[in-house]
């Protein structure tokens, strides 16, 4: 199975307030995010993380959490992913890109939403916007996979499984 998620923000205390997340501390949030991830993802699954693993540059802390996450992890950089590419590989990501990625010739994976319309040949899977109301979670041409929109866990994309 292939899953998608974004904007975990491990170790980021203020994201709780900014996005009205249901935890008191970032440590509590981090434990819940790992648990939620592992409740839906198996070791054989692939998870695309579309940016913002953490705002922190604390390698050891982030690596410990990423190491607890099940599945084959792939990362498309977000604006808060500040470590070096090799650091993300070292913590367990099997693929890392600083740029959007195209899957199956029509699925565009990006951190921030891309402009898509009825003339676009792409379906955009993205993050970055958290729970901003002006962005619709699912449209005919896009899916927002921010954790706030999917019970703080990775989600699937039904058209991807059919492709």
Q: How far is CA 146 from CA 43, 53, 80, 125, in A?
A: 22, 11, 14, 10
Instruction: Report the relative pairing of strands 107-109 and 101-103 from DSSP bridges.
Output: antiparallel
**Domains with residue ranges and CATH for the chain:** 2-162 (3.60.21.10)
Token output for 163: 């492709």
Q: What is the rounded CA–CA span in Å between residue 44 and residue 41?
A: 8
Strand partners for 93:
73
**CB contact burial 101-129 (16+ within 10 A = b; e otherwise):** beeeeebbbbbebbebeeeeebbbbbbbb
Q: What is the rounded CA–CA span in Å between residue 126 and residue 108?
A: 8
Q: Residues 63-112: pLDDT tens digits?
A: 999 999 999 999 999 999 999 999 999 999 999 999 999 998 999 999 99
What is the CB neighbour count within 10 angstroms for residue 163? 12
pLDDT at 42: 98
Q: For 127-143, what is the mean pLDDT?
A: 93
Return the residue matching tokens 């898509």: 116
Q: Average model confidence (pLDDT) for the chain? A: 94
Q: What is the rounded CA–CA span in Å between residue 140 and residue 31?
A: 34
């Amino acid at each position: 199975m292939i899953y998608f998620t974004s904007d975990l923000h491990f170790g980021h205390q203020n994201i709780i307030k900014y996005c009205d997340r249901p935890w008191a501390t970032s440590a509590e949030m981090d434990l819940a995010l790992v648990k939620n991830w592992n409740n839906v993802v198996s070791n054989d699954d692939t998870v695309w993380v579309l940016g913002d693993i953490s705002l922190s540059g604390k390698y050891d802390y982030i690596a410990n959490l990423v190491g607890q996450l099940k599945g084959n992890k792939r990362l498309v950089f977000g604006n808060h992913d500040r470590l070096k590419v090799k650091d993300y590989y070292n913590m367990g990501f099997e693929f890392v890109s600083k740029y959007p990625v195209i899957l199956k010739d029509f699925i565009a994976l990006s951190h921030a939403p891309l402009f898509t319309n009825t003339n676009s040949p792409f379906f955009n899977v993205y993050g970055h916007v958290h729970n901003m109301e002006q962005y619709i979670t699912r449209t005919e041409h896009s899916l927002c996979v921010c954790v706030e929109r999917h019970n703080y866990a990775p989600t699937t994309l039904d058209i991807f499984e059919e492709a």
